[in-house]
Every structure is written in structure tokens, then in C-alpha cells.
Chain A
Amino acid sequence: MKTARIILIYLAAAIAAAVCGVLFGAARIPLSEFVQDGALNPIVELRIVRTAAAAVVGASLAVSGLVFQAVLRNSLAEPYLLGVSGGAGLGAAGAIILGFSAWGFMSVPLFALLGAVVANLLVFAAVRRRSAEELLLGGVMIGTLASSLLMVVITFSHSHDMAGVIWWMLGSVQNVDPARQLAPASILLAAALVFLFVRAGDVDLLTFGPEYAWNHGVNARTMTVVLLALASLLAAVTVSMAGIIGFCGLVVPHIVRRLHGGSHRKILIPAALAGAAFLMLADILGRVVSPVRELPVGMVTAAVGCPVFLWLLNRSRAGS
């Protein structure tokens, strides 16, 4: 199938998911009430923001996962491998429990971003040779250390603080600030997509190993660090926006690669669009299944992603 046709199919799916995201939710709103007294219905406004946030977060996670899986040549690689989730969790928990959340709405996301970036920098600083495997191991170590510290912080927290930290870790796109969070994250995603599209050939070569890439004129070590840093930054920004959302960055790129092959120029945009559609649908499901309480989107991605992934895995095995 031609690349343009594949992109169109994924684009149609993403648009359909976005439309559903605006149409469905806890409240039933007739189309005639979408605009009231010349202004957008606040419920519709809320849905538009969270649907856009789900799209950007889903796309960023899918792209991040795609890069991690390619560079580390490991289909189990996911966006949080280099200590992003542990660092961000520790940052957010610290902000909540030490009372910095009282400084304003943006304090928790900023501390989460800070925690993720610091964890990432620690990984890059601690691993001298900076080969993919060693960065991976360094990421696991720093992530484990951050997660242990997070548990210590949670142990000393009050019940409301603990609920805040746990809910933040489960992931949600409900409280995203369109100007201060969504806009910068969208710009970063767009820039990452352009960079990766241009350097897609290098990413392809890296999937065959650093020596192979080096022999084809790619500075493998520098490119590995740049790509992993970019992928981790994408993950860190999404974590600061919406908490820790699992499965999207693992399952979506894996499925897209299985369906359309390993050319990153061909699968980059479809993976981003599939990630966006997946997270928008997961968010809708969380809102519709439990309208009052609302299921955390991270829970829905795991609940939906796991069986779908296993089904696809078995199907492709049976086919081969």
C-alpha cells in the first residue's frame, strides 16, 4: 500500500475519534446546544481541549515508543525506559506532598517535567559510553531508584496527597491547560515529527545496529543520543501534561510496524495518528463507561491495549 494511502486511512481514523471525543461524554448534549448564546457550550469546550490533549499525548507517546524500539532494537522498549516515569512521578509527588501544588495549577506539571528531565540527564551523565544497551540499563537503574524514592515520599504523605499522586500516576487528560501545556507540547511534537521524517533513513539504519549505521555514514553514537533524548523529552512533556499513561507508546508503534513494515518514513505519521486515535478512544471509553467517576485513561489503555495486542500477536503468528 502506498504511504499516502496509509496516512489517509489513519488520518480518517484519527478524525473520526476526535469527532466522537467531542460528541460523547458524561452528558448528552444535542447538536443544537453546542453553541449557547453565541458562545461554545462549556462542556463541549472541555471535550475539545481534552480530545486535543489526548491526541497530542497519544501521538507523542507513539512516536517516542517508535524511536525507542528502533534505536534499542527491542520491541519491548517504551517511552518511559530512561527513567522518565520514575523521575516525573517523583517530581509530581514531591510537588504535591511538599505543598508546592498550592503555588498554582502549573506547579505539579512543571515539577513532573523537571523530575523527568533530571532523571534523563542523570542517565546520560552516568553512562559514559552511551551505547543503546548501556543507556537502557542506566535508565532502568535510575528509574528504579526514582520509583523507590517515590514510594518513600508516598509513605510519608497524607491521604489526600496520596490520592493526588496515585491519580496523577494513573494518567488523565482532564486537567490540561490549552495555552500553557497543550500548545508547547504540540509544537514539540510537530518539530519532532519533522526532524524524524527528515532523518528517517538514519533511524532505519540504526535498527540494524550501530556498526551497520556507522558503515553507511551515520554517526551512530551521536544519533542514538539525539534520538533517545528527543524521545525521552516527548515522553517527559506528555507525563507532565497527563501523568503516566502506559501501553500507548509500547503497543501502537509495535502494531503499526507489524502492519506496514519497518520503513520509518512510511510508518512515522501513521504511528503518530494511530497513537492519537488510540488515546482519544481510550479517553472516550473512560468517560462513557463511568460518567460520574470517570476511569483514568491510563487504566483504559492498559485494559484495552493488552488484549488487542495479544490478539494481534496470535493472529499474525497463526497467519505466518
Chain B
Amino acid sequence: MRRLLRFLFIPAVLCLLVSCSEEKEVVSGGVVSLSPALTELVCHLGREDRLVARSTACDWPESVKKLPTAGDFAEPELEKILSMKPALVVSNEFVNPKDADALRQAGIAVELHPCDGFDDYRDWVVRMGRLLECPDEAEAELKRAAARIAEFESALQTADHKPFRALYVIWDSPLLTAGADSLPDAVGRLAGLENIVTTEKGYPSISLEFVLKEDPDVIVWFAHGKDWKSNPSWRGIRAVQTDRVLIPRDDSALLRPGPRMFDGIADLKADLEKMFSSRLNSETAP
């Protein structure tokens, strides 16, 4: 009996502690978002009215552009934020710890966590639902995300071809690419791509010779405003020679772990199918 009581009592106390801490986590007041993905998430959860400032990179939805800027994700403008007296500042882990401490000392709640993949996105949805008192909206978003991922995974299982081997170009000179555990790697996999960079994580700078050796089927070009055609070093790559360089319709939807990334994956998938089906047709035409 004593054992049974202990078995029931300990989880009960833990639940109480968790619920108390959850209650404490709720913030009422303005929110400063220094991450474009989190700004999109706040708006998606129906809490745009809580935003009082954004980062210089936050540009979606269009309406957030009216908000004042307060620095970027790595370098918040402390004086500006302090003068706004927000209740909460959210960003990823790149914020200078000293800046975060300064904000906390001023009584502002600061939430800094990685924001790199699907797992991080789920964590942020739960966290935001709790902080901004919108658990139902967060729950709905979690379900939507799970359903979209399941939909992409099921399409992959029934696909009649192997994933296309891809190089994700984040920057052309130096050649910065998306490595094994990056967001482009994760979203690309759901769109039917297989990253040629498997041994390096994050966003490494890789050699052109490695690219030539790996000979990707397609290059996904995120280097906005850059042109691979003027660089002679790119001409030897078969994907360039065969015009298999894909510029995503909206690269921000694929590079930001926000609510739009599932639409970005669907667009990427459709563009890939179009690129490879037309190629296939032209190759099989008499």
C-alpha cells in the first residue's frame, strides 16, 4: 500500500510542479521576435497582435513589415528593446549570451532555443502555445505539421524512382552548402532529394572537386542574386551542363523552420517532378 501511494504521489507532485511552472511561463505583454521563422509562427498561431518589434530579416507575413525593427537574431538592439518594454524576446541560440542576460536583468523573459529542423519546430510550437496562451492553435499546428510530414513520407514510399542526389548551394563563393543535419537537408529529403554532403554537418564550405566527384543530379540554388553561369568553375558540373539547377520559388519557405516550410516542400517537390519529367520525356522522345 505504501509502495502504491508512493507510486501515485511522486507523479502527482511532478505534475503539479510542471503545471505550476507552465502557469509561470505564460507571458502577458508585448513580444519581440528576432527570428523570421518565429515571427511567422507567432502570426500563424493568431498572436500577431502581441508582436511589438521584429528582426531586420522578418518579412513575412507582409503585415509584420509595419512593425519596428529591433536588430537581428545575433545582435539585438538592446536600448531599442528595453525602451519598448516587451514581456518576451524570442530568438534562436545565436543571440549573444551577454545581450540575453542584460534583457533578463531588465525583467524581460528571453526564450532562446535552436530552430533548425522539424523537431525544433515542434518544440517551438508547443513552447509558443504555452507562452502566448494559445494551446489549441498550437495543437492544431502540431497536427497539421504531422499530417503534412506523413503525406510527404507516404509519397516517398510509393515513388517509382530513387531520390535525386542533390547539392544545396547556400552561397557560391566560397561554396557554402547545407550539410547532413541542416534544414535544407531535412526538407529536401521530404521532397524526394538525397543530400550529397553526408559527412559534414551544418553549413560547411566544400570543394568543387568533391561536387564533381559526387556528380549531383540536381543543384538547389539558394544563393539569392548569385549567378552560376558567370563562374567558369561551375561549368564542369553535369547538373549545370544539363540545366538541372533549381531555384526554389520562395527560398525563405525552405530555409526557415516556420509554418510555411510544408508549402515550400510541396513546391520544391512539384518543381523537381516537372524538371525531371520533362527531361525524361525529351530523352525518350523519338
In the complex, whether A133 has a CB less than 8 A from a CB of chain B is: no
A293 near B173: Cβ-Cβ < 8 Å: no
Count chain A residues whose beta carbon lies closer than 8 angstroms to a beta carbon of B: 32
How many angstroms between the C-alpha atoms of A106 and B230 in the bound complex?
A: 8
B197 x A292 contact (CB < 8 A): yes
Interface hits, A121-152 → B, CB 8 Å: none
Question: Once bound together, how far apart are the Cα atoms of A235 and B232, in whole Å?
Answer: 23
Flag whether B171 is at the interface (Cβ < 8 A): yes
Q: Determine if B282 is an interface residue (Cβ-Cβ < 8 Å).
A: no
Tell whether A195 is near chain B: CB-to-CB under 8 Å. no
Give the number of residues in B that approach A within 8 Å (Cβ atoms).
27
A42 touches B174 (CB 8 A): no
B208 and A174 contacting across the interface, CB-CB below 8 Å: yes
Q: Are A46 and B208 in contact (CB under 8 A)?
A: yes
In Å, the complex CA distance between A106 and B231 comes to: 8
For A292, what are the chain B residues with a Cβ–Cβ distance below 8 Å? 197, 199-200, 204, 206-207, 210
Q: Which residues in B have their C-beta under 8 angstroms from that of A164?
A: 171, 173-174
Check B283 for interface membership: any CB of A closer than 8 A: no
Task: Pick the residue among A46, A160, A179 that contacts B170 (CB under 8 A).
Answer: A160
Extra A-B contacts (19), CB below 8 Å, given A102-B226, A291-B209, A293-B204:
A26-B207, A27-B209, A27-B213, A43-B213, A46-B208, A99-B225, A102-B227, A104-B230, A106-B230, A160-B170, A160-B171, A163-B174, A164-B174, A174-B208, A174-B233, A287-B207, A291-B207, A293-B207, A294-B210
Listed in ascending order, the chain A residues whose CB lies under 8 Å from chain B are 25-27, 42-43, 45-47, 99, 101-102, 104-106, 108, 159-160, 163-164, 167-168, 172, 174-175, 177-179, 287, 291-294
Residue pairs across A and B with Cβ atoms less than 8 A apart, 17 shown, are A26-B209, A42-B212, A42-B236, A46-B233, A46-B236, A101-B226, A105-B232, A163-B176, A167-B174, A174-B208, A177-B232, A291-B207, A292-B199, A293-B207, A294-B205, A294-B206, A294-B207
